[in-house]
């Protein structure tokens, strides 16, 4: 065994491996969404399940959740489906956040995406309820308006109706809290 | 239950592989054959374990057992059973399981054949005995990596709680066409098959038996893996053409390149291995080629699964990328240091006798394939390099690849004509002239005719010219050989042809594969240079025309299927105003995908394809937008693919043997020429001893 040659040959492989290692730290699919910083598209979505107390927001099944009526409030719009595995991971995070922020005027809504309403309702029951209303998006109109790539995706809309943040994949409590606190008027400033 | 069975099977397989590796090496070092036999047993046991795990997964898929994570991820009650079964390889975890199954199966067969090889046909029985334990250890090591993936980052048998009532079903693109059932497994068979020659090559180096034995032992493996890889690439092109609706079949996408790179090095290896077998030259080079091929199959999987390059094959998987990265590093360090460290023991015996010889043609072939490989590798990785060095996001597209690789393709096409016309060692000027005069004249005529009649740019004309030349030379190998037999033995033409090929399968299989490759090259050139397309929005009863093809939109319809909604157009093809056939391009809407998936309609004729794609349908059903593409000679790409596969099959088909004996890997191919078979027992794997001319 000629160890000198072996070492030289091995050294030749280092740059390639280093390049791949660098590549692992990058995400070529990072798609800059044009939405954050712009006005959220208008929507009118039918409620199929009211949120569990205490954060119903006054909506009952059959009512319509309208973007126009949400002005002045922070809105968290979450797109989900019963066939989506990642949606299970974030469900409790969203439900808890909706309870926490209910008295500070943050409105949550879960938009059922490409799914049968019955399957969606059954899923919520299985997951042990949901503190915010579930709404329907027939023919994925709103999903298309929001430029959805897949589920789950979560949009946070400011009181001015501008999209403040877009999250792809399951949200976590720290991300959700940070982003909401960022645009929510501080408690001290409230009258 | 299924879950526990499956996950314990892969766990035990990992442990067995590790144990087997230790046994193989320890048994060889300590000269304890019973330990080595234990290692072989581990190889067989692993095949059983992976078969159990795979069957458990198929069972879970078919019974819609959504408590198994992989089933919850790709299963759906609405998916037809056929697509449910093949979704075994529809996503990451399942494909790794399938990979493990194929690898364990190949390893078992390779070890069985190697240990049951008939003794000493070429005096290399001792070499076989020395390298087998190491080859088994390498195969077990590769296996251990994949089984570890199945235990940790790509475990398909994780529990899901609460158990969902239904799943999303496989990626719609993967359940839209029958070719999706064929392309991935062929690719895995090709990729995984390359592990065997790699393991034997490393085994040869480790055991200190680095002669050509490993090449003889694995010739059929390499050929088979190459055949599967070729078929997989062609099937992938075909699928892309039939499903994606853009009328093309190759886009130099990173994942396409990932399958193409090992094909390039493997093709180079198939040729250079012949030089080593015949002349004892190129030993280090051949070891490097087989190492590169294996490393590129892993690299391909890494590129596909890590998501480090942006690709239409959107498999974002994340964590698993680090595992493959580690494995690539391990493979490269291990094999490069081994090949380089042992290179001084690999003195090359032979030398080039003359410039005009078949050896030279093979060397040029290897040079071109190497440049080809580096070009494609560079283009594929350049976005990554650019971002690392200059921090900019760039993409390398078709123009780069086409302008860089087309000249190489032209040269290869030319070489495919020259090579078979050249004999080994040295060619006489007269013989060469006799061989190429007619093909060259034919080529010039076709080239001029193409330029005058069709134009289409320099590459099209050159491809037709060189293609004609190479085709004529390769076809002549058959015709002149058959004619000689007809004269010498008074055989009828078909008999003479069959006996000619049967007498030297390896060689004529190779020529047939050439003919297939030339067919593909010419068809690709024609379909890109002479393609025509147009788009129009038609109301019912209206027509559109392109290049002498006329179609009429007759009807628009929709129908609900279990897993999708289908919108379709019924289109009549008109010839001279009379209906000549019907086509139905469709749009499929799956619940789990925002964008519709198209099913283009393709009408194939030997002269080319008429390709219709339904782009959009007016909401009230009054009109539809249809893209119409005319592509000459496309069916010949697929036909060429079949020819290559057939050539490879002929080339590796074992010859009939006289005595009943266990199958051997380095099975001789005694020529079926009457009277010569018994006299040439050492024609083993080197049937070309009669020289280039028949």
Question: Cβ distance A110 to A65 under 8 Å?
Answer: no
**Per the domain annotation, does A161 fall within a domain?**
yes
CATH number at residue A62: 3.40.30.10
**Is the CB of residue B391 less than 8 Å away from at least one CB of chain A?**
no
DSSP state of B349: -
Q: For residue range B2-51, what is the model confidence (pLDDT) as tens digits?
A: 999 999 999 999 999 999 999 999 999 999 999 999 999 999 999 999 99
Across the beta sheet with B601-605, the strand order is B532-539, B623-632, B608-617, B601-605
Average pLDDT over chain B, rounded to an integer: 86
Give the one of A5, A85, A143 whose C-beta lies nearest to B343's C-beta.
A5
Note whether residue A8 is domain-resident.
no
Residue A119 clears pLDDT 70, i.e. is over it: yes
B283-306 vs B195-207: helix crossing angle, rounded to 10:
130
Residue A28 located in a structural domain: no
CB pair distance less than 8 Å for A24 and B592:
no
Both tokens of residue B241?
A: 């053409």
* CATH T-level fold of B1-176: 1.20.120
Distance from A191 to chain B by nearest Cα, in Å?
Answer: 45
Supply the pLDDT for residue B121: 54
Of all residues in chain B, the percent with pLDDT exceeding 70 is 89
Say which residue, A138 or B328, is predicted with more confidence.
B328
Model-level pTM?
0.80
Residue B126 three-state SS: helix
Mean of pLDDT values over B330-354: 82
Higher-confidence position of B228 and B177: B228
* Domain spans, chain B: 1-176, 533-636
Name chain B contacts of A10, Cβ cutoff 8 Å: 332-333, 336-337, 340
Q: Which residue out of B72, B333, B373, B386 would a mutagenesis test of the A interface target, given it has the greatest number of A Cβ atoms within 10 Å?
A: B333
CA nearest to B296, candidates B365, B224, B195: B195
Query: Mean pLDDT, to the nearest integer, of A163-183?
Result: 88
Among B321, B333, B342, the residue with its CB nearest the CB of A10 is B333
pLDDT of residue B680: 36
What contacts B499, CB < 8 A, 6 or more positions away?
A: B485, B489, B491, B672, B673
Instruction: Please tell me the distance in Å from B326's CA to the nearest CA on chain A.
Output: 9
| B387 at A interface, C-beta within 8 A | yes
Burial of B8 (0-12, 13-18, 19+ CB in 10 A): middle
CA nearest to A126 within chain B = B162
pLDDT score of B658: 44
Instruction: Find, among B96, B497, B486, the residue nearest to B302 by Cα.
Output: B96
Structure tokens at B159: 């529990």
The pair of three-digit structure tokens given for residue A5, joined into one six-digit string: 């040659």
The pair phi, psi for residue A116, each rounded to 5°, is: -80, 135
Q: For residue B349, what pLDDT is reported? A: 61
Interface test mutation site (partner A, options B202, B340, B388, B560, max chain A beta carbons within 10 A):
B340
Name every chain B residue with its beta carbon within 8 A of the beta carbon of A6: 336-338, 340-341
Residues of chain B with C-beta less than 8 angstroms from the C-beta of A13: 329, 332-333, 336
Does A1 contact B at CB distance below 8 Å?
Answer: yes
CA distance B168 to B175: 12
Q: What is the pLDDT of residue B675?
A: 38
Determine which of A1, A29, A79 to mutate to test the interface with B (most B C-beta atoms within 10 Å). A1
Nearest to B387 among A16, A24, A26 (CB): A26
- Tell me if A83 and B383 make a contact (CB, 8 A cut-off): no
Q: Is residue A179 part of a domain?
A: yes
pLDDT at A188: 54
pLDDT over 90 at B248, yes or no:
no
| Tens of pLDDT, residues A8-26 | 888 888 888 888 888 877 6
What per-residue confidence (pLDDT) applies to A56? 53
A11–chain B Cβ distance below 8 A for any pair: no
B306 and A CB contact within 8 Å:
yes
> What's the CA gap between B299 and B325, in Å, rounded?
8
pLDDT of amino acid B388 = 82
Q: What pLDDT does residue B684 have?
A: 36
Task: State the residue range of the domain holding A124.
Answer: 44-189
Does residue A156 sit within a domain? yes
Interface test with B, best of A23, A82, A122, A168 (most B CBs within 10 A): A23
The model's pLDDT over B121-150, given as tens digits with 9 standing for 90+, comes to 555 667 788 899 999 999 999 999 999 999
- Taken in order B46, B49, B53, B54, the sign of the CA dihedral is positive
For residue A167, being part of any structural domain is answered with yes
pLDDT band (50, 70, 90) for residue B674: very low
What was the pLDDT predicted at B319? Answer: 76
Q: What is the mean pLDDT of residues B378-393?
A: 83
Of A38-42, B216-220, B616-620, the range with the lowest mean pLDDT is B616-620
CB spacing of A83 vs B76 below 8 angstroms: yes
pLDDT of residue B342: 86
Verify whether the Cβ–Cβ distance B592 to A10 is below 8 Å.
no
**Which of B20, B235, B234, B45 has its CA nearest to residue B137?**
B20
pLDDT surpassing 70 at residue A187: no
Tally C-beta pairs within 8 A across A and B. 111
Instruction: Out of A24-38, B53-67, B260-274, B587-601, pick the least confident.
Output: A24-38
pLDDT over 60 (residue B387): yes
Nearest-CA distance from A6 to chain B in Å? 4
Is it the case that residue A132 has pLDDT exceeding 60?
yes
Residue A13 covered by a domain: no
Task: Say whether residue B91 is in contact with chain A using an 8 A CB cutoff.
Answer: no
d(CA A89, CA B556): 42
For range A48-65, the mean pLDDT? 79
Would residue A35 count as lying in a domain?
A: no
Q: How confident is the model at residue B592 (pLDDT cuts 50, 70, 90)?
A: low
Alpha-carbon gap, residue A113 to B599, rounded angstroms: 24
Beta carbons of B340 and A6 less than 8 Å apart: yes
Higher-scoring residue by pLDDT: B508, A114: B508
**Interchain contact B302–A (C-beta under 8 A):** yes
**Does residue A29 register a pLDDT over 80?**
no
For residue A31, what pLDDT is reported?
52
Q: How confident is the model at residue B191 (pLDDT cuts 50, 70, 90)?
A: very high
Q: What is the radius of gyration, based on Cα positions, of chain A?
A: 22
Cβ-contact B524, B517 below 8 angstroms: no
B201 pLDDT above the threshold of 90: yes
B660 falls in which pLDDT band (50, 70, 90)? very low
Model confidence pLDDT, tens digit, residues B463-501 = 999 999 999 999 999 998 999 999 998 888 899 999 999
Residues of A in contact with B560 (CB under 8 A): none
> How many Cα atoms sit within 13 Å of B216 on the Cβ side?
29
**B618 vs B194 pLDDT, higher one:** B194
Res A34: pLDDT: 63
The Cα of A21 is separated from the nearest Cα of chain B by a number of Å equal to 7
pLDDT band at A189 (very low <50, low <70, confident <90, very high): very low
């Amino acid at each position: 065994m000629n160890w000198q040659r072996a070492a030289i040959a091995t050294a030749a492989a280092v740059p390639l491996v280093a390049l791949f290692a660098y590549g692992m730290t990058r995400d070529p699919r990072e798609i800059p969404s044009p939405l954050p910083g712009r006005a959220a598209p208008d929507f009118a979505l039918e409620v199929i399940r009211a949120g569990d107390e205490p954060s119903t927001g006054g909506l009952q099944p059959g009512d319509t959740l309208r973007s126009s009526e949400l002005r002045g409030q922070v809105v968290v719009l979450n797109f989900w489906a019963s066939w989506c595995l990642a949606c299970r991971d974030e469900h409790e995070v969203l439900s808890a956040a909706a309870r926490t922020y209910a008295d500070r005027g943050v409105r949550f809504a879960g938009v059922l995406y490409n799914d049968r309403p019955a399957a969606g309702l059954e899923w919520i029951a299985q997951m042990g309820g949901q503190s915010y209303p579930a709404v329907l998006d027939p023919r994925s109109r709103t999903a298309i308006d929001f430029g959805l790539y897949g589920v789950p995706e979560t949009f946070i809309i400011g009181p001015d109706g501008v999209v403040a943040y877009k999250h792809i994949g399951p949200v976590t409590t720290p991300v959700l809290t940070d982003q909401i606190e960022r645009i929510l008027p501080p408690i001290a400033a409230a009258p | 239950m299924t879950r526990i069975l499956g996950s314990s099977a892969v766990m035990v397989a990992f442990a067995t592989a590790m144990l087997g590796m230790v046994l193989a090496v320890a048994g060889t070092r300590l000269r304890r054959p019973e330990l080595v036999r234990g290692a072989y047993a581990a190889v067989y046991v692993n095949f059983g374990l992976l078969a159990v795990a795979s069957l458990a997964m198929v069972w879970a898929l078919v019974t819609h057992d959504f408590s198994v994570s992989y089933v919850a991820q790709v299963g759906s009650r609405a998916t037809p059973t056929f697509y449910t079964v093949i979704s075994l390889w529809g996503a990451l975890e399942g494909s790794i399981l399938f990979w493990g199954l194929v690898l364990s199966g190949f390893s078992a067969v390779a070890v069985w054949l190697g240990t049951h090889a008939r003794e000493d046909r070429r005096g290399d029985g001792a070499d076989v005995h020395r390298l087998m334990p190491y080859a088994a250890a390498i195969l077990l090591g590769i296996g251990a990596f994949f089984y570890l993936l199945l235990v940790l980052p790509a475990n398909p048998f994780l529990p899901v709680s609460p158990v969902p009532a239904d799943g999303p079903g496989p990626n719609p693109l993967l359940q839209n066409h029958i070719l999706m059932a064929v392309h991935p497994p062929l690719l895995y068979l090709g990729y995984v098959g390359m592990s065997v020659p790699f393991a034997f090559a490393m085994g040869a180096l480790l055991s200190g038996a680095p002669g050509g034995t490993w090449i003889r032992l694995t010739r059929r493996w390499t050929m088979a893996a190459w055949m599967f890889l070729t078929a997989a690439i062609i099937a992938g092109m075909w699928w892309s053409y039939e499903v994606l609706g853009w009328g093309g079949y190759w886009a130099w996408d990173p994942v396409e390149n990932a399958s193409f790179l090992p094909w390039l090095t493997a093709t180079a290896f198939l040729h250079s291995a012949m030089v080593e077998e015949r002349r004892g030259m190129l030993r280090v080079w051949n070891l490097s080629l087989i190492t590169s091929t294996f490393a590129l199959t892993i690299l391909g999987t890494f590129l596909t699964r890590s998501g480090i390059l942006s690709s239409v094959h959107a498999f974002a998987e994340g964590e698993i990328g680090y595992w493959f990265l580690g494995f690539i590093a391990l493979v490269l360090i291990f094999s490069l240091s081994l090949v380089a460290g042992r290179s001084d023991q690999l003195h090359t015996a032979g030398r080039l006798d003359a410039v005009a010889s078949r050896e030279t043609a093979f060397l040029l072939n290897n040079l071109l394939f190497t440049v080809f490989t580096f070009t494609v590798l560079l283009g594929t990785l350049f976005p990554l390099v650019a971002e690392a060095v200059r921090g900019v996001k760039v993409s390398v597209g078709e123009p780069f690849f086409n302008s860089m690789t087309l000249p190489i393709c032209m040269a290869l096409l030319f070489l495919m004509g020259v090579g078979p016309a050249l004999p080994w060692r040295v060619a006489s000027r007269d013989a060469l002239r006799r061989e190429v005069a007619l093909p060259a004249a034919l080529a010039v005529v076709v080239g001029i005719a193409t330029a005058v009649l069709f134009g289409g740019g320099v590459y099209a004309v050159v491809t037709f010219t060189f293609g004609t030349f190479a085709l004529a030379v390769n076809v002549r190998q058959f015709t002149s050989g058959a004619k000689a037999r007809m004269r010498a033995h008074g055989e009828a033409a078909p008999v003479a042809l069959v006996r000619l090929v049967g007498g030297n399968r390896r060689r004529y299989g190779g020529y047939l594969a050439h003919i297939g490759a030339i067919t593909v090259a010419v068809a690709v050139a024609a379909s890109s240079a002479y393609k025509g397309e147009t788009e129009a929005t038609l109301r019912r009863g209206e027509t559109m025309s392109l290049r002498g093809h006329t179609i009429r939109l007759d009807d628009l319809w929709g129908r609900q299927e279990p897993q999708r909604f289908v919108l379709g157009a019924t289109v009549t093809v008109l010839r001279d105003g009379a209906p000549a056939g019907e086509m139905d391009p469709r749009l499929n809407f799956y619940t789990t995908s925002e964008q519709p998936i198209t099913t283009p309609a393709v009408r194939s004729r030997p002269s080319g394809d008429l390709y219709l794609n339904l782009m959009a349908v007016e909401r009230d059903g009054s009109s539809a937008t249809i893209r119409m593409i005319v592509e000459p000679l496309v069916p010949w790409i697929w036909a060429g693919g079949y020819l290559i596969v057939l050539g490879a099959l002929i080339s590796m088909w074992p010859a009939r043997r006289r005595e009943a004996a266990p199958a051997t890997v380095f099975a001789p191919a005694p020529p079926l020429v009457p009277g010569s078979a018994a006299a040439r027992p050492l024609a083993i794997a080197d049937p070309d001893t009669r020289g280039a001319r028949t």
